[in-house]
């Protein structure tokens, strides 16, 4: 039976989803990958949860092919594990691996902030200040749906100021793999995140590279502590 005929027999339920997801985007594979990544990072799929191709293709209104390709792509990012006879599932970090990732991320974030303080660009600093204001306001008003995007934007602009493409590629991969661990567990932690961002930015603006590096590394460890990674609770999400 052709895919077209199968879709026709399945009824009208999936058809609108195809339009909403695929009509104005190309390739569809990239869109599906982004959607699944977003769901994993925001905790919609729990660590260890199975990701069944048939179910996902039905939810997204697409065939299994882009779903399968998306899962393989996410596996290369470390967000998904694909096992023979079991299929795909959300990656689940052991306490030891989580701690190792925190150590590496703290080191890289420190270097990133240090380079930004040494290579500060006035226009980009102004943009970063605006992101900081937006993030602090969102945290103060409890707009949790905006915090993840604003947090990513803060680090993205800071990385642009640091101007080291190799470092940014390494950090992008690591942030994706640890994002679920560092998502603020509550608004108190979210507000603390932006207070720490403000301190980092102040050091960068002042050109104090060593202080910026120290504060950025401390920020990672502070978030890890909030997530109780120090005692091996990698299912609690905390920056």
Q: How far apart are CA 144 and CA 156, in angstroms?
A: 19
Domain with CATH 1.20.120.530 in the chain: 95-231
Statement: the pTM of the whole predicted model exceeds 0.75: no
pLDDT tens column, 142-169: 887 788 889 989 999 999 999 999 999 9
pLDDT tens-digit map of 82-96: 999 899 999 887 888
33-61 core/surface letters (b: 16 or more CB in 10 A; e: else): bebbbeebbeeebebeeebebeebbbebb
Give percent of the chain above pLDDT 90. Answer: 55
Highest averaged pLDDT of the listed ranges 12-21, 68-77, 168-177, 185-194: 68-77
Question: Which residues make beta-bridge pairs with 51?
Answer: 88
Q: Out of 65-79, 115-129, 202-216, which region has the weakest mean confidence (pLDDT)?
A: 65-79
CATH 1.10.10.10 in the chain, residues?
3-90
**Which carries the bigger pLDDT value, residue 237 or residue 94?**
94
The answer as to CATH 3.90.650.10 being correct for domain 95-231 is no
Task: Specify the CATH number of the domain 3-90.
Answer: 1.10.10.10
């Amino acid at each position: 039976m052709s895919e077209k005929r199968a879709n026709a027999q399945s009824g009208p339920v999936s058809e609108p989803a195809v339009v909403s997801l695929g009509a104005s985007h190309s390739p569809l594979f990239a869109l599906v990958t982004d959607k699944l990544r977003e769901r994993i990072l925001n905790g919609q799929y729990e660590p260890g949860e199975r990701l069944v191709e048939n179910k996902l293709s039905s939810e997204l209104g697409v065939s299994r092919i882009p779903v399968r390709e998306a899962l393989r792509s996410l596996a290369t990012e470390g967000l998904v594990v694909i096992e023979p006879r079991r299929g795909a599932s959300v990656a689940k970090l052991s306490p030891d691996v989580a701690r190792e990732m925190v150590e590496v991320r703290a080191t890289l974030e420190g270097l990133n902030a240090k380079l930004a303080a040494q290579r500060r660009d006035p226009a980009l600093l102004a943009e970063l200040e605006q992101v900081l204001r937006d993030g602090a306001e969102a945290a103060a008003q409890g707009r949790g749906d905006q915090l993840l995007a604003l947090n990513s934007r803060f680090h993205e602009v800071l990385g642009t100021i640091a101007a080291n493409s190799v470092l940014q590629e390494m950090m992008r991969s690591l942030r994706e793999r640890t994002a679920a661990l560092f998502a603020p567990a509550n608004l108190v932690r979210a507000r603390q995140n932006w207070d720490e961002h403000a301190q980092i930015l102040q050091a960068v603006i002042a050109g104090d590279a060593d202080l910026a590096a120290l504060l950025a590394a401390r920020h990672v460890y502070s978030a890890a502590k909030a997530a109780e990674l120090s005692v091996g609770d990698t299912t609690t999400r905390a920056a």
